[in-house]
Amino acid sequence: MTNNNNQPEVADIFHMYGDDYRQKFIVSPEKTSVMRLVEMCRTAALGGHLEACNHCGAKVNAYNSCRNRHCPKCQTLVKEKWLNARKSELLPCPYFHNVFTLPHELNSLILINMKIMIGILFSAVKETLQAFASDPQWRLEGQLGFISVLHTWNQKLLDHFHLHCIIPAGVLSFNKKKWIVGREEYLFKVESLAKEFQKRYLHKLQKAYGKGELRFTGNTKYLADEKNFMKLIKKLWGKQWITYSKRPFGGPEQVLEYLGRYTHRVGITNNRILSIDDGQVTFSYRDRTDDNKQNEMTVKAEEFIRRFLLHILPKGFMKIRYYGFLGHANKKKAIPLIWKLIDPDAEIAEKVVETVQEIMLRVSGIDVSLCQECGKGKMVCVGTLPKPLNNTS
């Protein structure tokens, strides 16, 4: 299962220890499916096609990807295609990067109510940012546009729910006649954002509880009692919630680089897995509390699998969302308008369309269509490789 470079992969861990894990613990059909797909990605189990060199005739099997959004192997192409689609939506202005984090006291409840509680996270952040954009005290008074990206992990692959927001540094006036530029250092003070975010999230959470929309199982059963639930709410009101803002960055290249870091990440990439040995997995992580120092951690294989499965999102749940003038219903008209308001003479970048071969050449410097045997010919598809008949995925 390990690739040709002997780099251990998540797929290897699932292949070696996945069956034992599923026999020992209850795993939902959705998470089981993700495990199977990651394990089979780019193997004969998913079929593929046969390629032959048009110069020397050398043949090679090219197997299909699983295309699952949680698979470490499948994100590069998806990310690059997504970024190409965003190039025509970038504005000629600086951008801010804000992060909104939920307190860890909510983690257990989120894990069994992910759709509702993460949905509340998205809506609370959206409402907070738009409320501040329309408040005269921040000298803007208009509509923000921004992209929000959900992350559910920290570097140790534990549950850590937070939202990354990439925000153009200004607003479109409500009458759509002006582009109002924000402050250079920040759009809004993070302390004020945090308090408003806290208020909106907790009010929405209490409302969901009152409507009976939340489930309580395992170590959260005690929260079904209203008195206990309100104790938790009181505790959360007493905490200082974390909202973080990075200084603005500008230019299409920088914005795209930033977006690429966050949009299509998975909990852990294969290059961070250092070894799989005797039922244990060693992986690297950066210690945020120690100046991002690179460290190593070794855990049992079943613990690694448990941590990985924490981050499987519900089917159909959107982890990237667009708001304000960048929302799907608004951006077609709003983006050309804002360009004209910022710089009437500027030319809007066109949407970029690249083939898989072009993307891989740009990203890796490797021409994947070039024959590895003769180095002269191009690989062309000459037939299909069907999935095995006993493939039950």
Residue whose C-alpha is closest to residue 311's, from 163, 126, 111, 118: 111
Total domains in the chain come to 1
Residue 63 resides in a domain = no
120 located within any domain:
yes
CATH classification at residue 163: 3.40.1310
Mean pLDDT for the chain? 92
| C-alpha dist (Å) from residue 174 to 96, 115, 141, 142, 326 | 21, 32, 7, 5, 15
* Percent of the chain whose pLDDT exceeds 90: 76
Residue 31: inside a domain: no
DSSP 208-263: HHHTT-----GGGGGGGSHHHHHHHHHHHHTS--EEEEEEEE-SHHHHHHHHHHHT
Q: Which two tokens stand for residue 280?
A: 């244990």
Read off the pLDDT of residues 162-198 as tens digits, 9 standing for 90 and up. Answer: 999 999 999 999 999 999 998 888 889 999 999 999 9
**How much is the average pLDDT of 346-354?**
77
Confidence class for position 390, pLDDT limits 50, 70, 90: low
| pLDDT for 238 beyond 90 | yes
Q: How many CB atoms lie within 10 A of CB 177?
A: 9
pLDDT of residue 253: 72
pLDDT confidence of residue 252: 66
Confidence of residue 288 (pLDDT cuts 50, 70, 90): confident
Q: Which residues contact 208 (CB under 8 A, 6 or more apart)?
A: 116, 117, 120, 214
| Predicted local confidence at residue 2, as pLDDT | 44
Answer yes or no: is pLDDT of 381 > 80: yes
Integer Cα distance of 62 and 47 in angstroms? 8
Q: Does 70 map to a domain?
A: no
pTM score, whole prediction: 0.92
Q: What is the pLDDT of residue 306?
A: 98
Residue type at 183 in one-letter notation: R
Residue 194: domain span:
75-267+311-342
Separation CA 126–CA 317 (nearest Å): 17
What is the arithmetic mean of pLDDT over 114-124?
A: 98
In a domain, 49, yes or no: no
In this structure, are residues 287 and 295 in contact, taking their beta carbons and an 8 Å threshold? yes
Query: pLDDT at residue 351 above 90?
Result: no
Residue 185 in any domain: the answer is yes
What does the pLDDT read at residue 4?
47
3-class DSSP string for 317-342: CCCEEEEECCCCCCHHHHHHHHHHHH
Token pair 């020992």 is found at 24
Work out the percent of the chain whose per-residue pLDDT is above 70: 96
Would residue 121 count as lying in a domain? yes
Q: How far apart are CA 111 and CA 152, in angstroms?
A: 10
In a domain, 321, yes or no: yes
Q: Where do we find the tokens 């960048």?
A: 326
The span from the CA of 209 to the CA of 215, in Å, is 9
With 70 as the cut, is the pLDDT of residue 250 above it? no
Q: Are 107 and 117 in contact (CB under 8 A)?
A: no
Choice between 233 and 93, residue whose per-residue pLDDT is larger: 233
